[in-house]
Amino acid sequence: MSDSDGGNGLDRREFLKISGVASAVVGGTGLGLFGYAAGKDPQTYLGWQNEEGASEIVDHGKYEVDKPTYEKVGPTSRPDARVENIFSRRGRFMRQYRRMQTGAEMEDEVLAAYYEDHPEDLELDRLMMEEIYPKLRADMEKYGEQYLLAVAWSDAMFAVGPDRVDGPPDVADFPRPDRMGRVPEKARMKDPARTSELIKKVAHECGSTLVGIARLNPDWVYKHPLQGRGFENPDDELAIPEHWEFAVVVGTPMSWDPMYANPNYGTSSDAYARSRVIATRVAAFIKALGYPARTHIPGNSYDLMVPPIAIDAGMGEQGRHGVMITPELGCNIRPAVITTSLPMQTDKPIDFGVQDFCRYCKVCAENCPSGAIPFGDKEEVRGYRRYKIDTSKCVNFWNSNLGSMGCRICIAVCPYTRKANWLHKLALKLSANDPTGVSERALTGMHKALYEGPDPQDYYIPSLGGKNASYRKPPWWLRTEDFIDLG
Amino acid sequence: MRNRRRTLLRILIVVEALALALAFGRTRAAPDLTVPIGEIFSEATSFAEEHGVFRAYDGDGRLLGWAASGSESGYGGPMLLVAGIDTLGRVAGVKLVEQRETPIFWRMARAPEYFKALVDTPYDEIDYDYGEVIGVTGATISSGAIVASIRESVAQVAGEAFDVNLPLPARPFEFGLLEIAILILLIAGVTAQKVTGPTRQRIRWASQVAGLIVIGFWKDSPITLAKLAALMSGFFPDPRNSLAIYLLIAGFVVTSIAWGRNIYCLYACPFGAAQRCVGLIAGKGLKLPPWSVRLMGHVRNLIVFAAIFMAFLTLQPALSSYEPFAALFSLHGSTLQWLLLFIVLVASLAIREPWCNFFCPMRSVEILLQDIRRVFRKPSQAKSHD
Amino acid sequence: MQIFNSGFFWFAEGILFCVMVLGMRAVARDRSIPLTWWKWLAFGVWVLLAGFTVAFVGTSVGEGEPTAAVRGGLMFGFVAIVAAVVLWRVWMIGAPSRTTEKVAES
């Protein structure tokens, strides 16, 4: 055998010459492109990578659809936050609890009517006071010290925060007069599309990892305002102001390593604190342009439900656990909303295969210690078909944990909540682009085989039959015993 | 002749040791049901039993409610649980008293939540749709046993306390594709004995590949040590929903005794098929020296004996299963089982049937059956196996 | 760790891959194995598969998932080993058997 391929008229030397020239051209061009990319690389904006768009690792355009992936099936209605928002209801319940113990009638008629229809929630609300809190108190004495660094870190992240909204929309949303007493006029924006780009860039510059813009669907606005939102009477109906036309959704992830060490070592406060600061800054920016803006920020300072708005804004889809799943961060995102009338072009919702995946996967339901996540199908909730989680069970468990409180296990175990390395990006591409469902099955099977967690029962505190387990080991800097002598 | 006596002695020792273990396991006292019932009715101080239904009374002699036990066969044997109904006819509580399912089932099962959710439900409005409530896909026998046990105990209380006859649902024979496939494979195996040469080989390949697909990847229900040990402990699963395992084990035992070699291993076992397929990829395998095969065979026999011994002693057959079948067929397994699976499959590239020769409990059982066959046959007829 | 994110790392990997290809070609020459495009394709696929396995193990260890590293390594490692055997058999297609090698070479 010989190397030369004399048969087709191009001899070896000629071939080498031509290849040499071609290589020089291609290689040279490549170096030029390399230089351009190196100069523009968001990773080089040290400290401001996300602000330059380093977090936008998925092209949403590929997955855009006209309608969001939850379905509207019947006549819709707005949620009654007084009882359907679990924190609001628990607040009302606590105020009534003493009366109820003496057997007296409940003063709170709204609550009484709700419990009439949902006796199981009354049981679960009582369980919290009567069984879980006393046991938690005892276990905190015994085991709490272990989580000192986790608590300290959570406190640190939440130490600084913006003021809450302090008035009803017609007052608090509008720009205030400046030192000269002038109220800023609405700036004459050239083009809604350009305005969107500007607002998104500003949101990124304020530190947001992801941004989306939607037209506000009134179905997501609470029928009654929550406490502490500047409304006179929380039992009056909340009239949706005309200037709540658009919603800008911002959001940041929780720190990854503690998030995997949920429930006891994780916290929501890091991402909460960042998202509320970002939302408040973006609102201030919009107000300075002369337009009204109102923030809806964690924890529980909202006039509306945030996740469906984020889904409308094309940031992700709803998962089985009721949490929004984004292609970039999985479920590891804590969003906040700014409602405004600044004319902007809205984003389209996306469909990257989550509905098919969740129908099959069920990892979150299998790992949820509280049994709040359904194994079954979607249900109709206020006219929309979606997965409905049992918030009373959910909150009972996450109130029973040590550390900085909360659970977030469903977020940690979700196959979509993986770091953005080549492996998980590849898996995401596979599941998002495979219409056959084969990859969903294969990926789910592998996820369950490879990323096992503890027995869900072990997540409970010892007094409730568990072992204080966490999904993954805490990062080195949250292991209290390595830094502090524990008694 | 002396050989025969030695074989007989070996059989006797093995069988008797196992029988002793089983006898010991079985002698443990039946659990005192008033303990779990006392947990359900926490104020109860005294109990009275009639027709298997307990009444719980408080210190003042007031009736608190009734309780009865239910017992239904799961994957590794019967489970026993107790359901209490209060005087208003609502569920007061459900307690699991005994169970023999795999740890992996309990890891995934939502049984505690289900039991909690049942509390305060009127006894005739209980949701028995186990697929929804217990939620372990692919573990219908275990989940079904929980639900059926509750149903049984509730029905007993309803009959005794409220004079209401709650009919237990008719359970039809489940005769599906799996059972049909097993029958076909067994028939193929029997038929193959009538032919020779390449035809037999062709039948064997076809039926093994079919077994790999149906009994393996689709249904993941090969014979396991757990199922066999459960049967031998006298825990007979309900044939109406576990016909497959009866068919497979019957095929295995009958042909082992009748022919010396059994059609399950040769024609139906999905893991054996997987091994052969892997071996096919590599082409001709190495032949190990016979002494090494024999030595490893002894080691395997010892392991299997120990596993069955423990299964009998503890009466927990499900814990004795070390096979990595589920790791291959449905990706369930411990890291050790993954390692075992890897070693066996890689080894089967080079040597023939490493699982059967070095690890498989069924081979040990087969050899025991072959020994029994040899002992009880006239010496002139007895063919020696290798 | 910085080097693994750099272009130089992939440049070096490319060179090593080319050396591997040259080595394979030399082996094929020595044994008079005829080379075709589909043999090289199979080789490329196998390199991707084996590379994936090794990278998977490394990534899993790196992201703090030792169980995934072990189980995934076993799972993909087995597939890679089987694929290696298949690759070997594909490469040997058309090769003279050992005993006739000398005759064929002359």
| A318's tokens | 């709803």
Q: Residue B324 CA to chain centroid, in angstroms?
A: 15
C33 bridge partner residues: none
| A4's tokens | 């030369």
Q: How far is C16 from chain B (nearest CA, A)?
A: 28
**pLDDT score, position A222:** 96
Does residue B382 register a pLDDT over 50? Answer: no
Q: How far is CA A68 from CA A323, B39, B281, in A?
A: 15, 49, 48
**pLDDT score, position B136:** 61
Of residues B83, B98, B100, the one with CA closest to residue B40: B83
**pLDDT score, position B134:** 65
Confidence band (pLDDT; 50, 70, 90) for B385? very low
Distance, CA of A326 to CA of C15 (rounded, Å): 38
**pLDDT score, position B1:** 58
Question: Widest CA span of chain B, in angstroms?
Answer: 82
Of B283, B341, B349, the CB nearest to C81: B349
The DSSP code sequence of A426-458 is: HHHHHHHH-TTSHHHHHHHHHHHHHS----GGG
| pLDDT tens profile B213-266 | 999 998 888 999 988 888 888 888 888 888 889 999 999 999 998 888 889 999
**pLDDT score, position A11:** 79
Q: How far is C34 from chain B (nearest CA, A)?
A: 21
ipTM above 0.95, yes or no: no
Q: How far is C7 from chain A (nearest CA, A)?
A: 9
Confidence band (pLDDT; 50, 70, 90) for C103? very low
| pLDDT tens profile B12-48 | 888 888 888 888 887 877 788 888 998 899 888 889 8
CB pairs under 8 A between A and B: 28
- A449 to B327: CB separation less than 8 angstroms, yes or no: yes
What is the C-alpha R_g of chain B?
24
Q: Average pLDDT for consecutive 10-residue bins of chain A (487 residues)?
A: 51 86 91 87 88 89 94 94 93 88 84 91 90 92 94 93 86 89 91 97 96 97 92 90 97 96 94 96 96 94 96 97 96 97 97 93 90 90 94 92 92 96 94 89 92 90 92 96 91
What is the C-alpha R_g of chain C?
18
Contacts of A402 (CB under 8 A, 6+ apart): A136, A139, A140, A143, A144, A146, A147, A264, A461, A468
* Window B:332-361, CB contacts with C under 8 Å: 335, 338-339, 341-342, 345-346, 349
In a 3-state reduction of DSSP, which class is residue A250? strand
- Mean of the per-residue pLDDT values of chain B: 86
**pLDDT score, position B380:** 53
Q: Which residue of B has its CA nearest to A444?
A: B331
Q: How far is B138 from chain A (nearest CA, A)?
A: 13
**pLDDT score, position C99:** 55
**pLDDT score, position B133:** 60
Q: What percent of chain C has pLDDT over 70?
A: 91
Q: Which residue of B has its CA nearest to C81?
A: B346
Buried-state track A373-411, b at ≥16 Cβ within 10 A, e below 16:
bbbeebeebeebebbbbbbbbbbbbbebbbbbbbbbbbb
| A404's tokens | 């900085």
Cβ atoms A477, A149 nearer than 8 A: yes
Q: Can you give the pTM of this predicted structure? A: 0.86
Of B335, B345, B349, the CB nearest to C71: B335
**pLDDT score, position A275:** 96
**Where do we find the tokens 């998980």?**
A424
**Best to test chain C binding among A26, A41, A451, A470 (most C CBs inside 10 Å):** A451
